[in-house]
Structure 1
Amino acid sequence: MILALLAALVGTLGYGAGSVLQSVGASRASGVAVARQPTYVAGLAFDAVAWMGSLVALRQLPLFAVQALLAGSLAVTVVLARLVLGVRVRRREGVAAAVITAALVVLAAGAGPLSAVRPPRPFSPVMLVSLGVLAVATVLAGRRARSTELAVLGGVAFSGAALCARAAHGSGDWASLLHEPLAWAVLGYGALGMIGYTGALEHGSVGPATAILWVVEVALPAVVGVWVLGDAVRPGWAAPAALALLLALGACVVLAAAPGQSGGATVP
C-alpha cells in the first residue's frame, strides 16, 4: 500500500510538471511541429514517468483513489504556472489547492483493498469499440479547434486508459499482459488522450484545459470502477470518501476559473 501511494505521488508531481512544460511547448508551435519543441518533449518525459507510477499504483489501489490522487497534479500545475508562466495565484486558489490536498488524504485513507473481481465479459469488446469511436471524435474535434471539447475528449481517453489498465491488471502478472487486448488498448487510449490534451493546450490555456481533463478523468473511472470493476471503499468510509471526491472536483473547478488561467499562456 505504501509503495502504491508513493507511486501515485510520483504520478501527481510528474503530471503537474508535464502539464506546464507541454503548455509552454504548445504555445510556441502547433500541430506536429510541437513535437520539435524541447519543453514539450520534456513534458512528455514527465508524463511517461507519471504514467508508470500510475500503473504501479493501480495494482494495489482502487481506481477512484488513484485517479483522485493523480488529480492533485492540478494544484502542482497551478503553482508551477505561477513560477514559470507568471500566473498570479490569489488566496482563493491557494485555499482550493489546500482543499484538494486534504481531500486526497481522505480518499487515500478510505481506499479499500483492490478487488479481485474480473470485469464482465462485454467489458473488453465495449472498450475496444469505444476506442475507435473516440478516435473519430478526436479527429473531428481537432478540425473544430475547440479547447473545451478537446479537453473533455482527452479526459475520456485517459479515463479509458485507466479503466483498461485496471481491468488488464486483474488478468494476471505483468508477463501475461502481453497477450491481453486491453493492455494494448491502454496505448491507444493514452495516445488519443495526449492528442486531445495537446490540442486543448494549443487552442486554450493550461488551467481550464487541465481542470476539465482531470474532472472527467476522476469522475468517469470512479463510477465505472465501483459499479463495474468492483472497486471498494473501507467500511465506514463511504460518506467521507464521497464528500472528499466532491470537494476535490469542486476545487478543480475553482482552480480552472483562476485569473490568468482563462487566457493564453504567457511564455517567458
Structure 2
Amino acid sequence: MIVSLLCAIGSALAYGASTLMQAVATRRARGLAAVLTPLVIGAFVVDGVGFVLSLLALNTLPLFVVQSIMASMLVVVVVGARFLLHARMRRLDVAAVVVVIVALVLIALGSGEQPAVAPPESFERAMLVATGALVAVALVSYRSGPGWLLAAIAGLGFSGAAIAARASHHHDGIWATLWQPMTACIVVGGIVGALWYLRALERLAAGPSAAILSVIEVVVPGAVGVLVLGDTVANGMLPGVLVGLVLAITGCVVLAMSPANEAAEGEPAPRSEPAPA
C-alpha cells in the first residue's frame, strides 16, 4: 500500500510540476512557439510520468483514494506559483493546503490496499457507450458551449479514463491489460479531458474551471468505484473517509480559486473584436 500511495503522490507532484512548467513557458512564448520550447516538451514528459504513476497506484488503491490525491496537485500548483511566478498566496490558501493534507490522511487511513477486481459483465459495454456519448456531447459543445460545460466535460473525460484504468487492472499481465476495450476508454477519455479543459480555459477563468474539474474527478470515479467496481472502506472508517472527502473537495475548490492558481493557469483568452470600419 505504501508504494501505491507514493505512486499516487508522485503522480500529483508530476501533474502539478507540469502545470507550473507550462505556465513559465507561456510567459516566454505564445502559441506554437510555446509548445515547441524545451520547457513545454519537458512538461509533456512529466505528464507522461504522472500518468504512468497513476496507473500503478490504481492497481492496488481504490478510486476515491487515488482521485483525491490527484486533485491535491492544486497544492503543488498554488505553492509553486508563489515561489516561481511570485503569485499572491492568501492566508486562506495556506489553511486550505493544511486541510487538504489532513483530508488525504483521513482518506488513506480508511481505505487499505485493495487490488482491482473484475467488473460486472456488462461494464465494458457500458463504458464504451458512455465514452461514445461523451465524445458526441463534447463535439457538439466545442464551438459554442459555455465554459462551465466544457470544464465538466473535461472532468468527465478524465474520470472515465481513471475508471477504465481501475477496471482494466484485473487482467493478468501488462499485454492483457493493454489489449482490451478499456484501453480505448482510457485514451479517448484522456484526450477529451486535456483538449476540452484547454477549451474551457478560453471561456472561463482558471479558478472556476479547476474547481469544476477537481470536484468531478473526485466524486464521479469515487462513486463508480464504490458502487460498481468493489472499492470498499475499512470497517468503522466510513465517517472519517466521508469527512476527508468533503474536506479534500472543499480545500481543492479554495485552492482552485486562489490568485496563485489563476497565475499558474492563466486568464481566459480575450475574445477577438471586429476591427473598426
When normalised by structure 2's length, the TM-score is 0.86
Partner of 2:63: 63
1:208 deviates by 3.3
1:140 deviates by 3.0
Name the aligned partner's letter for residue 250 of structure 2: G
Partner of 2:230: 230
Q: 5+ unaligned residues in a row in structure 2: which ranges?
A: 268-277
When normalised by structure 1's length, the TM-score is 0.89
Partner of 1:137: 137
Q: Does 233-242 or 183-192 show the bigger shift?
A: 183-192
Alignment of 1:187-206 (within 5 A): 187-206=187-206
Alignment of 1:247-262 (within 5 A): 247-259=247-259, 261=261
CA gap of 1:24–1:151, structure 2 versus 1, over 3 A, is farther
Residues 11 and 53, structure 1, Cα contact 8 Å, conserved in 2:
yes
CA distance in 2, matches of 1:112, 1:186: 25
Residues 81 and 260, structure 2, Cα contact 8 Å, conserved in 1:
no
1:11 deviates by 0.4
CA gap of 1:241–1:10, structure 2 versus 1, over 3 A, is same
1:253 deviates by 1.6
CA distance in 1, matches of 2:149, 2:26: 17
CA distance in 1, matches of 2:23, 2:154: 15
RMSD: 2.4
Q: How many residues align?
A: 265
Partner of 2:272: none
Alignment of 1:1-268 (within 5 A): 1-23=1-23, 29=30, 35-114=35-114, 117-144=117-144, 146-259=146-259, 261=261, 265=266
State the secondary structure of the residue aligned to 2:224. helix
1:17 deviates by 1.3
Residues 19 and 210, structure 1, Cα contact 8 Å, conserved in 2:
no
1:241 deviates by 0.5
CA distances 1:51-74 after superposition (whole Å, capped 9, x unpaired):
111111111111111111111111
Q: Does 190-199 or 4-13 show the bigger shift?
A: 190-199
CA distances 1:128-177 after superposition (whole Å, capped 9, x unpaired):
12222222322333312643322221111011001001001013221211
Q: 5+ unaligned residues in a row in structure 1: which ranges?
A: none
Name the aligned partner's letter for residue 124 of structure 1: E
Residues 14 and 47, structure 1, Cα contact 8 Å, conserved in 2:
yes
CA distance in 1, matches of 2:94, 2:147: 25
